[in-house]
Amino acid sequence: MRERAWPAGLAVTAIALLAGCASTPPAPITTIGELGAAYLEAGGECADLVEQYRAADSDPVVAACGTDTELILAASADEAQGIATERQLQEQTVLVSDRWVIRDPALESIQQELGGQIVTLSPADGPANMADAITFDEGGVVEAEPVPADGEPEAPEPATGIHDILVVIDPECEYCDRMLAANGEQLERLADEGAARVAYLPVSLGDEIGNGYASTLGANALACVADSEPEAYRPFQSALVAHLQEQRFDAAAVSALAAEHDAEIDECVQSAQFAWWVRQATVRAIEQPLQGVEPLRGVPTIVVDGVTFAGDVSDADALAAFIAQQVPVSG
C-alpha cells in the first residue's frame, strides 16, 4: 500500500460498527465494517475507527484509530500478505489472515479469537550457502553454513592461485543490472573454468514504498534461491535484477520468475523468510571492510584480489583487463 498525503479539506467518514453477540467473526470478511466489528468482538479496544481516504477504488480499504491501530481490507489474500510484509519491513507487527491485516497493541489476544498469523521482523538464521555472499568456483557452489541469527558469518578461506572476486549488488539498482548484463557471463566463465572464485553479495540500499521494498525483498528472493536451489542463483540473479528495473516487486511474479529457473520459493518469498539476514548482511557490508579493503560505499561494487574496480561497470573489456592486471594470492 502506497503512502499518500491527505488531500486538504477532505472530510473523513467514521465507520459504523455494529456490535454482535457472536464469538467469532463472519467468514469471509468482505467489508471494512465487518472487519471492525470482528476486531471489537475479539477484544480490540480502539472503537473510534475512521476510514481513510483512498485515491482509487482498487486501493486497500484502511481504517485507523489513533497511531497504534490500523485495520486493512485488501482485494485478495496475496495483496494482504504483501501489505503485511511491507509493515514487517517497516518494523511493525501485524496480524494477517485471508484478505485482512490488523495492527494493534493487543495482537496476541486478538489472534486467539480471530486466528491468523502474527508477522514481525525478528531475528532469524540466514540462508544456506550465503555467509554473507554466495560463492562459486570450478566445483560449483561453495557450501557454507547459515549465519546464525545472533552471530557473524565465518570468514571464507582465502582463494589461492586464482583470482578472488567479490560482486556486491542491490537487486533494485539500475547500474547493477547494467553490470550483470555486461559481465555476468564473463564472471560465470571465470568461476566455472577455475580461473577465479566469484562471490555475490546482495544488499538492501534502495527500499522505497513505491518500488515495493524491492531491495530487501529482492535480496530475500536471492537468499531463498541460494538456500534451496543454489545452482540456479546466477541466472536467476540476472533475471531478477532486470525484472525489477521494469516493475515494482511483486511476490507472485518473482516466484514465477524463480520457477522458470527451476527454483520453487513461493513460501520463502511470501514470508520474507530471510529479511532479517538481509538487513544484518547489509549492515555488515557497510560497517566492515570488504576483502579487507574498505566498507561498502555504493552498488555495484566489484573487488578483485583486494582491489576495487573503479572503471565503467558496463564495460566488459575494461573489467576483463582489470582482472588480468591483479595478482592472485599465491598458494
pLDDT 10s digits, 114-148: 999 999 988 999 999 999 999 999 999 999 999 99
What local confidence, expressed as pLDDT, does residue 19 receive?
A: 32
Residue 10 has pLDDT above 80, yes or no: no
> Do 257 and 168 belong to one domain?
yes
The CATH number of the domain where 270 resides is what? Answer: 3.40.30.10
pLDDT tier for residue 17 given thresholds of 50, 70 and 90: very low
User: Rg (Cα) of the chain, in Å, rounded?
Assistant: 23
What local confidence, expressed as pLDDT, does residue 327 receive?
A: 92
Residue 26 has pLDDT above 70, yes or no: no
Q: Which residues pair with 72 in a beta bridge?
A: 62, 101
> Do 179 and 112 belong to one domain?
no
What local confidence, expressed as pLDDT, does residue 27 receive?
A: 64
Q: Which three cell numbers stand for residue 308?
A: 576495487
**What's the number of domains the chain is made of?**
2
Does residue 127 belong to any structural domain of this protein? no
Neighbours of 29 (CB within 10 A): 21
pLDDT digit string, tens, across residues 281-303: 999 999 999 998 999 999 999 99
DSSP code of 232?
Answer: G
Residues whose CB falls within 8 Å of the CB of residue 269, separated by 6 or more in sequence, listed in order: 217, 220, 221, 224, 251, 254, 255, 258
**What is the layout of strands, in order, in the sheet containing 140-141?**
140-141, 134-137, 196-202, 163-169, 301-304, 307-308
Q: From CA 81, how far away is CA 119, in angstroms rounded?
A: 9
The mean pLDDT value of the chain amounts to 90
> Do 252 and 278 belong to one domain?
yes
- What φ, ψ does residue 196 adopt, rounded to 5°? -160, 155
**By three-state DSSP, how is residue 147 classified?**
coil
> Do 247 and 295 belong to one domain?
yes
**Mean pLDDT (whole number) for 216-244:** 98
DSSP code of 249?
Answer: -
What local confidence, expressed as pLDDT, does residue 144 receive?
A: 94
Does residue 45 belong to any structural domain of this protein? yes
What local confidence, expressed as pLDDT, does residue 232 receive?
A: 98
**Could you say which of 74, 95, 119 is where a domain stops?**
119
Task: Tell me the three-class secondary structure of 10-64, residue by residue.
Answer: CCCEECCCCCCCCCCCCCCCCCHHHHHHHHHHCCCCCCCCEECCCCCCCCCEEEE
Does residue 2 belong to any structural domain of this protein? no
> Do 113 and 138 belong to one domain?
no
pLDDT digit string, tens, across residues 66-98: 999 999 999 999 899 889 988 888 889 999 999
Distances (CA, A) of 320 to 135, 164, 298, 302: 19, 14, 21, 12
Task: Tell me the three-class secondary structure of 83-144, residue by residue.
Answer: HHHHHHHCCCCEEEECCEEEECCCHHHHHHHHCCEEECCCCCCCCCCCCCCEEEECCEECCC
> Do 69 and 169 belong to one domain?
no
pLDDT digit string, tens, across residues 231-242: 999 999 999 999
Residue 13 has pLDDT above 50, yes or no: no
Does residue 4 belong to any structural domain of this protein? no
**Could you say which of 90, 119, 148 is where a domain stops?**
119
Does residue 215 belong to any structural domain of this protein? yes
Choice between 88 and 265, residue whose per-residue pLDDT is larger: 265
> Do 140 and 254 belong to one domain?
yes
> Do 284 and 148 belong to one domain?
yes
Residue 274 structural domain: 134-325
Neighbours of 20 (CB within 10 A): 14
Does residue 254 belong to any structural domain of this protein? yes
> Do 101 and 161 belong to one domain?
no
CA-wise closest residue to 234 among 261, 204, 205, 272: 261
Does residue 321 belong to any structural domain of this protein? yes
pTM (two decimals): 0.81
> Do 95 and 230 belong to one domain?
no
**Mean pLDDT (whole number) for 304-312:** 96
What local confidence, expressed as pLDDT, does residue 23 receive?
A: 45
pLDDT digit string, tens, across residues 175-208: 999 999 999 999 999 999 999 999 999 999 999 8
